[in-house]
Amino acid sequence: MNVTHLECALCSKLHEASTLQNLCVECGKPLLVRYDLDIAAKTLTPESLASRESSLWRYREVLPVEDTANNIVSFGEGWTPLLKADELAKSLPIKLNLFIKDEGQNPTQSFKARGMTAAISMAKELGVKKVAVPSAGNAAGAMAAYAARAGMEAFIFMPSDTPRANVVECEQTGANVTLIDGLITDCGKIVAERKEAEGWFDVSTLKEPYRVEGKKTMGYELFEQFNSPPSEGGVAAFRGRGGSFPLPDVIIYPTGGGTGLIGMWKAFDEMEQMGWIDSKRPRMVTVQSETCAPIVRAFENGERFADEFENVSTVASGLRVPKAIGDFLILDAIRASGGTAVSVTDDELVKAVGEVGSATGIFAAPEGAACLPALRKLIEQDLLTEGETVVLFNTGSGVKYLEVFQ
């Protein structure tokens, strides 16, 4: 649509957008899509969205596919509900306007569908026939489904302790699945070593430019949902202190590879350039498991890059990422927003699944449920103010994790 180029997130080297790209050829860091936002803003306005389809492709002016009629691969993902969590809020020691953005209602039951609709659509537009990915679970399920819909071959490498539901999902949607005794980083090494010989295009987290584009639409949706009249299903009455801020005060987000948080931060910058918001931002809070917390450790140590976390083990498989290639982007967003990084125990996040479920009816993934004990720790540390608006992100469905509850 309005893509001008790809830009390295670290060294700013420009790359051609009309050819297949993975990482920056100069420094090996992630590439981000850049748009002509002046042109985009002529048709993409808050007012224009009322009549558009209820999927993330409603933001087509700031999504990368050129031939939208032929190359979009979609199951209707996005536009997930933002649910008021009043009963859950009553269990907290201070009064907050609390919401849950329920990404478990996406196709393939997780936020990973957002990234894969963009990545697979662009792969189709650029002529890809085979795609490969390392995954701890939900990204694999999404990739398998979207690749099947696009008529591509999918090659998936997952740790052998990946939740069984994810493995079966991939097998039953036609993917070639290989289980590895190791971590997602070990799976990634296999993809990197074999992709050229096998003719695979690598759609690993942030190792191609487009998954983050799908994920950023969560930020656009938050803007819409916080600025729609209550009569239309919006939550305009709860827009932070005084109702003047068009976004939540705090976003609490479970972080493995970090594309969701990175994507929303990118969306807020784009919205500011298009005149939707000013320079004020929600405070971004990363949540990780204590047994796999590279971002939390780097944040606490004042570092911009996160060393690989050793001896990782957590039942929240989506958080089991010992080394994120987008570490500096996550940490930059946290610090620029005045946010923080919090770790919780596996016992806390598993218990929280039941707490969230009984209070809201949402069967959250362990990763999403981790936001609740993180929220309590923020309150204990006096990092939240009475009356603030807080959004917890449930990134997937607990149905995928039944072994955790046995």
pLDDT in tens, 340-360: 999 999 999 999 999 999 999
pLDDT at 2: 92
Q: Please give the domain boundaries of the chain with CATH numbers for all domains.
A: 82-108+211-405 (3.40.50.1100)
**How much is the mean pLDDT over the chain?**
95
Phi, psi of 242 (to 5 degrees): 75, 0
CA distance 83 to 81: 6
Task: Please report, in angstroms and rounded to a whole number, the separation of the first and last CA atoms in the chain.
Answer: 48
CA distance 96 to 391: 10
Is 254's pLDDT higher than 80? yes
Least confident among 10-24, 57-71, 227-241: 227-241
pLDDT at 136: 85
pLDDT at 406: 82
The residue written with tokens 């047994």 in the block is 291
- Give the confidence band of 242 by pLDDT, cuts at 50, 70, 90: very low
pLDDT in tens, 307-325: 999 999 999 999 999 999 9
One DSSP character per residue, 27-48 reads: T-PPEEEEE-HHHHHHH--GGG
| Strand bridging mode 201-202 / 250-254 | unpaired
CA distance 200 to 180: 18
Q: What average pLDDT does range 364-379 have in this prediction?
A: 98
Is 140's pLDDT higher than 80? yes
pLDDT at 245: 84
Q: Please say whether the beta carbons of 103 and 111 come within 8 A.
A: yes
pLDDT at 240: 39
